[in-house]
Amino acid sequence: MSVFYVPAVNLIGKGVINEFGDHVKELGFKKALLVTDHFIASSDILPKVTAPLDTAGIGYVVFEDVDPNPSCKNVYDGLAVLKENDCDFILSVGGGSPQDAASCISIMATNGGTPQDYEGLHKSKEKGLPVVAINTTAGTSAEITINYVITDEERKVKMVMVDKNSLAIMSVNDPELMLSKPADLTAATGMDALTHAIEALVTPGAYGVTKKLSIGAIELIKEFLPRAVKDGQDIEAREAMVNAIFLGGMAFNNAGLGYVHSMAHQLGAVYHLPHGVCCAMLLPIIERENAKRVPAAFRDVAKALGLVTDGKTDEECADYAIAEIENLSATVGIPKKLTELDIKEEEFDFEYLSKNALIDACAPGNPFMPTLEETIAFYKELF
Q: Is 100 among the residues that bind Fe ion (CB under 5 A)?
A: no
DSSP letters spanning 93-123:
EESHHHHHHHHHHHHHHHH-S-GGGG-EES-
| Residue 147 beta carbon to Fe ion: minimum distance, rounded to whole angstroms | 9
Q: Which residue has the CB atom at the shortest distance from Fe ion? A: 192
CA distance 18 to 326: 38
Residue 208 host element (H or E): helix 208-230
The residue among 71, 69, 62, 9 whose CA lies nearest residue 40 is 62
| Residue 308 beta carbon to Fe ion: minimum distance, rounded to whole angstroms | 30
Q: Is 192 among the residues that bind Fe ion (CB under 5 A)?
A: yes
| β-pair type (147-152, 157-162) | antiparallel
Contacts of 132 (CB under 8 A, 6+ apart): 20, 24, 29, 32, 89, 90, 91, 92, 168, 169, 170, 171, 172
Residue 20 or 148: which CB sits closer to Fe ion? Answer: 148
CA distance 34 to 276: 25
Residue type, 381: E
Residue 192 or 360: which CB sits closer to Fe ion? Answer: 192
| Residue 37 beta carbon to Fe ion: minimum distance, rounded to whole angstroms | 17
The residue among 299, 305, 297 whose CA lies nearest residue 323 is 305
Residue 72 or 257: which CB sits closer to Fe ion? Answer: 257
Window 148-187: contact mask with Fe ion (x via CB under 5 A):
----------------------------------------
| Residue 19 beta carbon to Fe ion: minimum distance, rounded to whole angstroms | 28
How many residues touch Fe ion under the rule CB under 5 A: the total is 1
Window 39-58: contact mask with Fe ion (x via CB under 5 A):
--------------------
Question: Chain-centre distance of CA 277, in angstroms?
Answer: 12
Residue 100 or 192: which CB sits closer to Fe ion? Answer: 192
Residue 274 or 367: which CB sits closer to Fe ion? Answer: 274
| Residue 26 beta carbon to Fe ion: minimum distance, rounded to whole angstroms | 32
β partners of residue 12: 173
Residue 64 or 199: which CB sits closer to Fe ion? Answer: 199
Instruction: For residue 262, give the 3-state DSSP assignment.
Output: helix
CA distance 354 to 374: 9
Window 216-245: contact mask with Fe ion (x via CB under 5 A):
------------------------------
CA distance 130 to 109: 10
Residue 32 or 283: which CB sits closer to Fe ion? Answer: 283
Residue 148 or 348: which CB sits closer to Fe ion? Answer: 148
Q: Is 199 among the residues that bind Fe ion (CB under 5 A)?
A: no
Window 353-372: contact mask with Fe ion (x via CB under 5 A):
--------------------
Scan residues 306-325 and list those touching Fe ion (CB under 5 A): none
Binding region for Fe ion (CB under 5 A): 192
